[in-house]
């Protein structure tokens, strides 16, 4: 105790000496600290005295009598509690005072004169900083540069050094510098590095879309590059949009009449403007405001007709809106927390409505833009399905469950029975609505078998699963022997792996554009089934072929950066949907993990075959300032 008081006197003298040259607030802080230390010592002494008194009195004759024992206990109980309370309060105050001290010192506007011995003052500040837990120089260094990997600062270097409205060529060069000149033998993203959602100023999405990689200009479009050629002299006839469809509700639709008099291209319904905007290189442009308007239409437009979609293994509904647009409805079959059972085959897995929604947002963040717009919607099963459908087969499957909920099951190959009925709460059901692509009579599409299609058999394996050189055969087969098709398959492979989607048996293209066109990513409902498992076999096409677009490679590295981070971008983007939350946190974290694995696979390919043999430079034409579309070489 005497040593504590002596230490207190020494501390008091030092503190008061330092406080002379500072303002009154700092002096008051030090005075409170000294006073609290004195009170703390006194309270500790009193507490110790009381404890000794109780121990000593244990053997006294007074405590042998029950009455005197109770009186003594009651007499000292309040005192003991008060002393302990004061001691705890003093300890808390002492813990808080260093923070107040740092605040006062950082906000001090006074100037110290040379006579104040600045060296001793600096030593005192350094000592007090170390005692109070301030980070040292080594810690600050780690905070400023969280990774020593050259690829870890790609986006920050490009954003800080590039002029805001300046030359995109320099921006691309800075982004590419680390990818080409870095240590190829090291992993691009280490598995040991676990990124977290850190707070950033503003929107992650806006910062991402403002990056030069997301501002690439398209080549000049000709009539051959657009899906439709708009003739402004022809008026839009909404009745022609659905006149050949069997699910058209005859005579029950109210006439859709846009405001503004004459119908021009700008006054077309959003679904039609979406169709008109399709071209050889993209399903929709990056900052096309019509897409956001179309997403709102999917949620708000009145449903006038419903019918079951023919084909497919699970129930899907075709819904027609008041403005004659159409969408594919996939009802909710699983909660967001449920994972696909481990004994389920990929071809018997449920199709999840939230996977369709998340796939659209992921596709846009990856800058592929090959998934039609999808939005979540809460439907009234009675008013918006049963009462408006003219499909008798669908109508007959409605019933009321023992829990008085409205249910239906429709007709399909899997899970269309009373045991797998879709039930509302009591008549509300979630689902995804995917905007329809143009009618096949207006824009024919070609369906292609995925070269890495699975066997869809319980025991058999596909050829690519047993032949490690399978990609060499694919490279010699049209249309994969030239053009961008093989690289587009690699994009689709990465897209599916991030979602965990094993059900990519076919893909489609628009017939008008031939083989020089993007591929459409349809039917993504079997993604996001297992967040605890990464199905690495989905990446076999990438590991066998070792080919990727340079733009895709750079974007993947960008999305692995902590200031962007794929999971944070997805979380922000999905907040815009009416059914948010769309994905639970484990699924978001799984995407970050799978992204790191994808970059590691590409790093292995580059180490084995060389950067120029793996990464196809699809940015060369843009850096040269040209508007030509560069076609990758066959290899």
| Residue list for the binding site for ATP | 314, 330, 351, 434-437, 508, 523
- For every residue of 169-209, which 3-state class applies, written as one string? HHHHHHHHHHHHHCCCCCCCCCCCCCCCCCCCCCCHHHHHH
The two structure tokens encoding residue 203: 């929107």
CA–CA dist 252, 242 (Å, integer) = 13
Q: Is 491 helix (H, G, I), strand (E, B) or coil?
A: helix
Burial class (CB in 10 A: 0-12, 13-18, 19+), 584: middle
CA 228/CA 372 separation, integer angstroms: 17
Whether the upstream peptide bond of residue 64 has omega within 30° of 0, thus cis, is no
Indicate the helix (H) or strand (E) that contains 327: strand 326-331
Residue 406's beta-bridge partner residues? 400
How many whole angstroms separate alpha carbon 235 and alpha carbon 268?
10
**Bridge partners of residue 508, in order along the sequence:** 447, 520
| Binding-site positions | 314, 330, 351, 434-437, 508, 523
Task: Name the active-site residue from 503, 577, 592, 618.
Answer: 503
Binding residues for Mn(2+): 351, 523
What is the DSSP annotation of 97-147?
Answer: HHHHHHHHHHT------GGG-HHHHHHHHHHHHHHTT---HHHHHHHH---
Cα–Cα dist 572/484, whole Å: 31
**CB-based contact 489:451 (threshold 8 Å):** yes
Cα separation, 625 vs 238, in Å, equals: 42
The neighbour count for residue 315, using CB atoms within 10 Å, is 25
Largest CA distance in the chain: 114
**DSSP per position, 40-51:** HHHHHHHHHHHH
Report whether 568 contacts 346 (CB < 8 A).
no
Nearest C-alpha neighbor of 629 from the set 509, 483, 489, 513? 483
Peptide bond into 581 cis (omega under 30): yes
CA pair distance 475, 438, nearest whole angstrom: 31
Identify whether the C-beta of residue 615 lies closer than 8 Å to the C-beta of residue 553.
yes
Q: How far is CA 102 from CA 105, 106, 111, 142, in A?
A: 5, 6, 17, 22
CA distance 588 to 376: 18
Local structure of residue 242 (DSSP, 8 states): T
d(CA 285, CA 310): 31
Q: Report CA torsion sign: 27, 31, 34, 37.
A: negative
Assigned token pair, 519: 């591929």
Beta carbons of 581 and 336 less than 8 angstroms apart: yes
Whether 469 is catalytic: no
Backbone angles phi, psi at 400, to 5 degrees: -105, 125
Rounded Cα gap, residues 348 and 525, in angstroms: 12
Q: Where in the sequence numbering do the catalytic residues fall?
A: 503
């Amino acid at each position: 105790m005497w040593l504590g008081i002596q230490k207190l006197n020494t501390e008091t003298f030092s503190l008061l000496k330092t406080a002379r040259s500072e303002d009154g607030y700092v002096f008051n802080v030090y005075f409170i600290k000294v006073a609290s230390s004195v009170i703390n010592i006194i309270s500790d002494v009193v507490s110790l005295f009381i404890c000794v008194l109780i121990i000593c009195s244990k053997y006294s004759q007074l405590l042998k009598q029950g009455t005197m024992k109770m009186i003594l206990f009651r007499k000292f109980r309040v005192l003991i509690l008060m002393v302990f309370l004061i001691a705890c309060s003093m300890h808390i105050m002492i813990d808080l005072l260093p923070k107040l001290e740092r605040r006062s010192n950082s906000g001090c506007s006074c100037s110290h004169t040379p006579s104040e011995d600045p060296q001793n003052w600096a030593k005192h500040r350094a000592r007090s900083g170390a005692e109070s837990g301030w980070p040292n120089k080594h810690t600050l260094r780690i905070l400023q540069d969280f990774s020593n990997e050259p690829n870890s600062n790609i986006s920050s270097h490009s954003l800080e050094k590039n002029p805001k409205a300046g030359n995109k060529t320099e921006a691309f060069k800075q982004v590419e510098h680390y990818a080409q000149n870095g240590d190829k033998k090291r992993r691009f993203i280490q598995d040991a590095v676990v990124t977290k959602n850190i707070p950033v100023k503003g929107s992650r999405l806006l910062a991402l879309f403002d990056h030069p990689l997301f501002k690439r200009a398209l080549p000049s479009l000709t009539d051959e590059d657009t899906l439709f050629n708009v003739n402004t002299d022809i008026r839009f006839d909404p009745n022609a949009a659905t006149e050949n469809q069997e699910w058209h509700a005859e005579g029950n639709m109210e006439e859709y009449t846009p405001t503004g008099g004459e119908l021009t291209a700008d006054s077309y319904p959003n679904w039609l403007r979406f169709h008109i905007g399709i071209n050889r290189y993209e399903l929709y442009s990056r900052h096309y405001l019509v897409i956001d308007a179309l997403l709102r239409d999917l949620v708000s437009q009145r449903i006038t007709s419903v019918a079951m979609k023919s084909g497919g293994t699970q129930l899907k509904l075709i819904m027609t809106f008041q403005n004659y647009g159409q969408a594919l409805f996939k009802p909710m079959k699983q909660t967001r927390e449920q994972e696909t059972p481990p004994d389920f085959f990929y071809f018997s897995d449920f199709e999840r409505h939230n996977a369709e929604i998340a796939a659209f947002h992921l596709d846009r963040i990856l800058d592929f833009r090959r998934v039609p717009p999808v939005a979540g919607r809460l439907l009234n099963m009675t008013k918006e399905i049963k009462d408006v459908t003219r499909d008798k087969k669908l109508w007959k499957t409605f019933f009321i469950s023992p829990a008085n909920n409205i249910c239906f099951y429709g007709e399909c190959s899997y899970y269309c029975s009373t045991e797998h009925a879709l039930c509302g709460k009591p008549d509300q059901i979630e689902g995804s609505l995917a905007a329809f692509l143009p009618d096949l009579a207006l824009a024919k599409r070609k369906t292609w078998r995925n070269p890495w299609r699975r066997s869809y058999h319980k025991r058999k394996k596909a050829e690519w699963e047993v032949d490690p050189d399978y990609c060499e055969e694919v490279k010699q087969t049209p249309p994969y022997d030239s053009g961008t098709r093989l690289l587009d398959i690699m994009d689709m492979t990465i897209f599916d792996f991030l979602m965990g989607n094993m059900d990519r048996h076919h893909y489609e293209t628009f017939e008008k554009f031939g083989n020089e066109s993007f591929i459409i990513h349809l039917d993504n409902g079997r993604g996001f089934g297992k967040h605890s498992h990464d199905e690495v076999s989905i990446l076999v096409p990438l590991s066998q072929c070792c080919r990727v677009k340079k733009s895709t490679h750079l974007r993947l590295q960008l999305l692995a950066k902590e200031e962007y981070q794929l999971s944070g971008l997805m979380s922000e983007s999905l907040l815009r949907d009416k059914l948010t939350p769309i994905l639970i946190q484990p699924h978001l974290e799984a995407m970050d993990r799978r992204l790191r694995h994808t970059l590691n696979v590409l790093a292995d390919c580059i180490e084995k075959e060389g950067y120029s043999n793996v990464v196809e430079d699809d940015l060369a034409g843009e850096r040269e300032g040209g508007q030509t579309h560069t076609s990758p070489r066959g290899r």
